[in-house]
């Protein structure tokens, strides 16, 4: 697969970002991998905005998932929505061109896993994708000091990375508020994504704190009716925005 792969170029250039201000991103980690294309299309048909694609390498995190060929397979299956690749791998740079060629839209990585964070951010952009930085629950926001103006996404982990179905860590709420305030002050459109333990019953507080992109794995794929779960999440998004005194767009 080369960066000029016509399939991936076509897939990415035809992508429009979702119009809604808040995006719901089901994580494939909780999907049935034997039916991944069908499951990804089902959650999009049920109202999800993008597909969150968790990549684990058994080094940076103690779990192993999927790589670029599976991302490319989703594109070839016909998934047109943005694919939000979350790299939990070390080293990072080797995989960036492959995921870009495979049709990734966003590529996010953990700064501890890259020797040269600025270089990795630029590498992602040079390959036509939107860069994101992922901060673990105990990782300092200092990482944003010299990177925020180059990022399209800040992904705040609300569990320790590696597994689906863990409990939401509430101390991330303060980090969401702080990142949201820093992004507002910067005037940029950088997204604030939260990943881990997101359920219908904590969506409102996460949105109230300033998150606009919500990853949910087990809460969506583990539910009997994807559309009903996503509808319930949307109504909690509206509640969170109202509590924060913001109008929902
Ligand atoms: C965890 C992954 C998450 C995970 C979320 O390391 O990055 O995206 O799939 O799963 P839930 O929503 O079940 O916590
Ligand atoms: Zn993730």
pLDDT digits (tens, 9 = 90+) for 71-120: 999 999 999 999 999 999 999 999 999 999 999 999 999 999 999 999 99
User: Which pLDDT value is given to residue 10?
Assistant: 47
Question: How far does the centroid of ligand 1 lie from the alpha carbon of residue 169, in Å?
Answer: 12
Give the integer Cα–Cα distance in Å for 249 and 247.
Answer: 6
pLDDT at residue 192 tops 70: yes
pLDDT over threshold 70, residue 202: yes
The answer to whether 195 is a known catalytic residue is yes
CA–CA separation, 148 vs 180, rounded Å?
Answer: 11
The pLDDT of 164-181, averaged and rounded, is: 98
Q: Which residue in the list 84, 98, 152, 195 is annotated as catalytic?
A: 195
pLDDT for 8-59, tens place per residue?
A: 544 554 468 999 999 999 999 999 999 999 999 999 999 999 999 999 999 9
Please indicate whether residue 49 is annotated as part of the active site: no
What pLDDT digit, counting tens, does each position of 132-160 carry? 999 999 999 999 999 999 999 999 999 99
pLDDT at 125 exceeding the cut of 50: yes
Model pLDDT, residue 246: 85
pLDDT, residue 3, reads 44
Model pTM above 0.75:
yes
Q: Which ligand is nearest to the CA of 85?
A: 2
pLDDT exceeds cutoff 50 at 6: no
| Ion ligand 2: residues, Cβ under 5 Å | 54, 86, 195
Q: What is the average pLDDT across 152-173?
A: 98
Which ligand has the minimum distance to the alpha carbon of residue 196?
1
The DSSP line for the chain is: --TT-HHHHHHHHT----SSSSEEEEBGGGS-GGGHHHHHHHHHHTT---EEEEEEBSSSSS-B---HHHHHHHHHHT--S-EEEEEE-SS-GGGHHHHHHTT-SEEEE-GGG-S-HHHHHHHHHHTT-EEEEEE-TTS-GGGGTTTGGG-SEEEEESS-TT-SSPPP-TTHHHHHHHHHHHHHHHT---EEEEESS--HHHHHHHHHHT--EEEESHHHHTSS-HHHHHHHHHHHHHHHHHHTT----
pLDDT at position 4 over 60 = no
- Ligand 1 pocket, CB under 6 A: 27, 29-30, 52, 54, 86, 159, 161-162, 164-166, 195-198, 215-219
Q: Give the per-residue pLDDT at 14.
A: 46
pLDDT of residue 16: 81
């Amino acid at each position: 697969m080369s960066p000029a792969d016509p399939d991936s170029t076509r897939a990415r250039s035809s992508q429009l970002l979702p119009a809604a201000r808040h995006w719901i991103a089901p994580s494939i980690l909780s999907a049935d991998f034997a039916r991944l294309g069908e499951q990804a299309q089902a959650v999009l048909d049920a109202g999800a905005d993008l597909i969150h694609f968790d990549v684990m390498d058994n080094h940076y995190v103690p779990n192993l998932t999927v790589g670029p060929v599976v991302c490319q397979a989703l594109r070839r299956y016909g998934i047109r929505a943005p694919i939000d690749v979350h790299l939990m791998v070390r080293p990072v740079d080797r995989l960036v061109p492959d995921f870009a060629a495979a049709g990734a839209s966003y590529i996010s990585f953990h700064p501890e896993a890259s020797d040269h964070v600025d270089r990795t951010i630029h590498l992602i952009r040079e390959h036509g994708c939107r860069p994101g930085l992922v901060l673990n629950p105990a990782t300092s926001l200092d990482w944003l000091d010299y990177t925020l103006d180059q990022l399209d996404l800040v992904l705040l982990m609300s569990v320790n990375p590696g597994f689906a179905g863990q409990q939401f860590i509430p101390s991330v709420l303060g980090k969401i508020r702080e990142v949201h305030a820093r992004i507002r002050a910067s005037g940029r459109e950088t997204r604030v994504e939260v990943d881990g333990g997101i359920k219908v019953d904590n969506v409102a507080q996460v949105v109230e704190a300033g998150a606009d992109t919500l990853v949910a794995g087990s809460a969506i794929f583990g539910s009997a009716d994807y559309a009903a779960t996503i509808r319930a999440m949307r109504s909690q998004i509206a509640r969170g925005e109202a509590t924060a005194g913001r109008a929902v767009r």
